Chain A
Amino acid sequence: RKEVEQDPGPFNVPEGATVAFNCTYSNSASQSFFWYRQDCRKEPKLLMSVYSSGNEDGRFTAQLNRASQYISLLIRDSKLSDSATYLCVVNMDPISNFGNEKLTFGTGTRLTIIP
């Protein structure tokens, strides 16, 4: 089993639709979780951290389910500019020190918003 697993897609979704995808992780002791966005041939950029209580940032909602070991990302009212690859990222080090973040990256889910 992969440490961090995502459906690679691609997902083609009409503009304005709501889209959601999950990511599962193998280590139950994982401490922190993130969604990064990566545009084609560019570097990843942090989209949002994922908190235990769930969190929302505009049209984006992230949730964590520790019991089932998955995190999710929901995008509402999708825009053409949301087209990108979304990387699920997990810190699996149970004793993580400040400035010592060994992150494990999923392979990414590719999303294309269609006009």
Chain B
Amino acid sequence: DGGITQSPKYLFRKEGQNVTLSCEQNLNHDAMYWYRQDPGQGLRLIYYSQIVNDFQKGDIAEGYSVSREKKESFPLTVTSAQKNPTAFYLCASTGDRGYEQYFGPGTRLTVT
């Protein structure tokens, strides 16, 4: 079945460690996005990529890094520089319908 997968669903890390969240899609979508969601707040854009080997900072890119070496994959690294990394991280992609963003199931990251 086509879709977006994110793993793991729950991730626990100690403060000071970098952690990489995976996002894979088999929808043949060009554009992919990373958001974080905090309680009581809307989704906030971290990074997005329109095409392989290209990506742009979103509204809250500090402390994060991404790569887009393959069309299907858009991993997000949460670095130790991110002050408040505990959040629900959502990956999304946009395909041939243009505007609709399809979301993965998300990864809940807890840093202690």
Interface assignment of A42: CB less than 8 Å from any CB of chain B? yes
Contact of B42 among A4, A34, A98, A101 (CB under 8 A): A4
The minimal Cβ–Cβ distance linking B11 to chain A, given in whole angstroms, is 15
By the criterion CB–CB under 8 Å, are A100 and B99 in contact?
no
Q: Which residues of B contact A107 (CB under 8 A)?
A: 40-42
Docked CA distance A44–B37 (Å): 11
Q: Which residues of A contact B88 (CB under 8 A)?
A: 41
Q: What are 29 pairs between A and B in contact, CB < 8 Å?
A: A4-B42, A32-B99, A41-B88, A42-B105, A43-B104, A43-B105, A43-B106, A44-B43, A44-B90, A45-B103, A46-B100, A49-B99, A49-B100, A98-B98, A99-B29, A99-B30, A99-B31, A101-B94, A101-B98, A101-B99, A102-B45, A102-B48, A102-B58, A105-B35, A105-B42, A107-B40, A107-B41, A107-B42, A108-B42
Interface residues of A (CB under 8 A from B): 4, 8, 32, 34, 41-46, 49, 87, 91, 98-108
The 4 A-B residue pairs with the shortest CB-CB distance, nearest first, are A105-B42, A43-B103, A105-B43, A99-B31
Given contacts A44-B43, A44-B90, A107-B40, 13 further A-B contacts (CB under 8 A): A32-B99, A34-B99, A41-B108, A42-B105, A45-B103, A49-B99, A87-B42, A91-B99, A99-B31, A99-B94, A102-B45, A102-B48, A103-B45
